Amino acid sequence: MTTSALLWTVIKIAVIVGFVFNVAGLLTWYDRRGGAMMQDRIGPNRAGIKIGKFELRVAGLLHTAADGVKFFTKKDFMPPKADKLLFSFVSMLVMILVFVLFVVILFGGVLRPELLSSSFQAMEVPLVVAPLNIGILFVFAMAGQGIVGAAIAGWSSDNKFSLMGALRAASQMVSYEVTMGLTLIGCMMVYGSVRLDEMARWQSENTWGIFIQPVAFVLFFTAAIAESKRIPFDLPEAESELVSGYFTEYSGMKFGMFYFAEYMEVVTSSMLLVTLFLGGWHLPFVRPEGLHIVLGENEILTAPMSHGLVIGIGVVAFFVKTLFLCWIQAFVRWSLPRFRYDQLMKLGWTVLLPASLANIFVTGVVCLALPQDNPEVNAALKWTCDFTQAIVAFVITAAFVRLFVGMFRKRPLRATILGSSARLAAAAGGTKEAPIRA
C-alpha cells in the first residue's frame, strides 16, 4: 500500500467512525429529549452548570456527557461466581463486531483526487474503508455473530435473569435473521450483484430500491429494529421482566460498551437501509458531471458541477438519509409497546417469513415476465424511473421548506385533554381538592 492510499484510508476511517460515534451519542440524547416531548413530560433537565444565578443545560445535552463520566468512574462490579475471562471479554467483543461492519459500508461515490488538484496523483478512491467483493454477505456474517456476545454475557454472569435474556436473544435472532436474509434475495435479483457499491450504483442509474422492493424495505426495516434489540423487540432486556436482561450484572464501562453498541447498531442498520433501498449517496438528477434533470426523452435542465462538489453532495446526502432513518427508529421506539415473547415469535414465523418468500416469488416472476430487449418496455421503465426520482426530489424539497418555515413560526399553546378520565372529569365540572389535614 502506497503512502497516499494509506493516508486516504486513515481519512475514511476517521470520517465514518467519527460520524457513527457522534450520532450514537446524539441518539442517547434524543431518546430522552424526544421521548419526553412525545409523552408530554419533563425531559432531561437535571444535569446543568450553574454560574451564579445563570444555569446552563444545553437542551439536555449535558446528561449525555454526565453518562460518559459515570461510565468511567463507576465501580466495576463482577459477580463472585461469574466466569471472569468471558465476563470481561464479551463487552469488548460486542463493540468489535459493530466496528467491523463499518468497513464495508459506502458513504460516497468514487473520489478522483487529481480532479480536485493537480498536486494529487492519478488514482481512484472509493469512499469505503474496505471494498470487499462479498459485500452484503460479509455484513450478514458479522452481524449474525452479535448473538454470540449476548449469549456469552448471559451465561457468564451466573444470573438466572441474565441467562433468560440470553436465551431470548438467541431464539429472537432465529426468528428475524432468516427474514432479514431472505428480504435481500429480491434485491440481489434486481441489482444483479452482492456488492454494496454496485447496488448503490444501480440505484443511481435507475431508481431507488424502495420503489422496486417496497415490501423488502418494510421487512428489512422491521428486522433491523429487532437486530438492535430496541422496543418493541427489546425482549432480551425487558426491564419489567428481566431487570436488564443479559447485561444485568454489568456496571461501569462494561455496561457502557453494551449500551453504546446498541446505539451504534441503530446507526449501522440505518446506513445499510440507505445503501440498499434509498440510493446510497445518490440524489435525484445529480450525475457525476452535475445536475441533469430529464423526464423520459425531455431534457429540462443541465447544470455542470465540479467533481469535488458532486462527491461532497453525495457524502452529505448519505449522512442526512442515515440521520433520518435513525430518527424514524427512535420514533418507533417511543411509539409502540413491547411485544410479548409469543407475539414476537408468531410475527417472525407466520408473518415476516412468508412475506419475504412471497416477495422473492413475485420478484422472480416479474423479472422473467419483462422482456429485456423490447424498446417500448425499456422506454416505459426509463420514464418510470425518472418519474420516481421527480417524486423524491419534490418530497425532499417540500420537507426542507417545511422544516425551514416551522423553525421560525410560533404556534400558540393549547391545552389538550388526553385520556378518558381527564375527559370525564372535565365534563363533570372539574376536580376538587380537599384541604390537607394533619
Q: What is the pLDDT of residues 312-351, one digit of tens each?
A: 888 888 888 998 888 888 888 888 777 777 787 888 888 8
Residue 36 reports pLDDT greater than 60: yes
Residue 87 reports pLDDT greater than 80: no
For 293-305, the pLDDT digits (tens) are: 777 677 777 788 8
For 373-390, the pLDDT digits (tens) are: 777 777 777 778 878 888
Strands 110-111 and 125-126, sheet pairing:
antiparallel
Residue 157 is given by DSSP the state: T
Residue 403 reports pLDDT greater than 70: yes
* Grid cell 409523552 in the structure block, residue: 39
How far, in Å, CA of 276 to CA of 181, rounded? 13
Domain presence at residue 414? no
Residue 250 reports pLDDT greater than 70: yes
List CB contacts of 168: < 8 A, sequence separation 6 or more: 235, 236, 238, 242, 245, 341
Count the domains in the chain: 1
List CB contacts of 209: < 8 A, sequence separation 6 or more: 187, 190, 191, 199, 203, 216, 217, 276, 277, 278, 279
User: Burial level of 239, CB count in 10 A (0-12/13-18/19+)?
Assistant: exposed
Binned at pLDDT 50, 70 and 90, residue 419 comes out as low
Domain presence at residue 181? yes
Percent of the chain with pLDDT strictly greater than 70? 90
The predicted model scores a pTM of: 0.82
How far, in Å, CA of 326 to CA of 330, rounded? 6
Closest CA to 320 of 362, 270, 367: 270
How far, in Å, CA of 170 to CA of 269, rounded? 19
Domain presence at residue 302? yes
Domain presence at residue 54? yes
Domain presence at residue 432? no
Domain span at residue 68? 3-404
Domain presence at residue 437? no
List CB contacts of 54: < 8 A, sequence separation 6 or more: none
User: CB atoms < 10 A from the CB of 182, how many?
Assistant: 20
- Cα 231 to chain center, whole Å? 14
pLDDT of residue 436: 52
How far, in Å, CA of 286 to CA of 109, rounded? 12
pLDDT of residue 422: 64
Give the Å distances, CA to CA, from 165 to 180, 220, 238.
22, 23, 8
**Helix then strand then coil, % of the chain, to nearest 5:** 65, 5, 30
User: Burial level of 299, CB count in 10 A (0-12/13-18/19+)?
Assistant: exposed
Domain presence at residue 417? no
Domain presence at residue 418? no
- Cα 417 to chain center, whole Å? 34
Question: Where are the alpha helices (H) located in 39-159, listed in sequence order?
Answer: 61-73, 84-102, 136-143, 146-156
For 185-235, the pLDDT digits (tens) are: 888 888 888 888 888 888 888 888 888 888 989 888 888 888 777 778 777
Binned at pLDDT 50, 70 and 90, residue 116 comes out as low
List CB contacts of 323: < 8 A, sequence separation 6 or more: 23, 270
For 125-158, the pLDDT digits (tens) are: 777 777 777 778 888 777 777 777 777 877 787 7
Tell me the three cell numbers of residue 63. Answer: 446528561
pLDDT of residue 223: 84
Least confident of 42-46, 88-92, 275-279, 432-436: 432-436
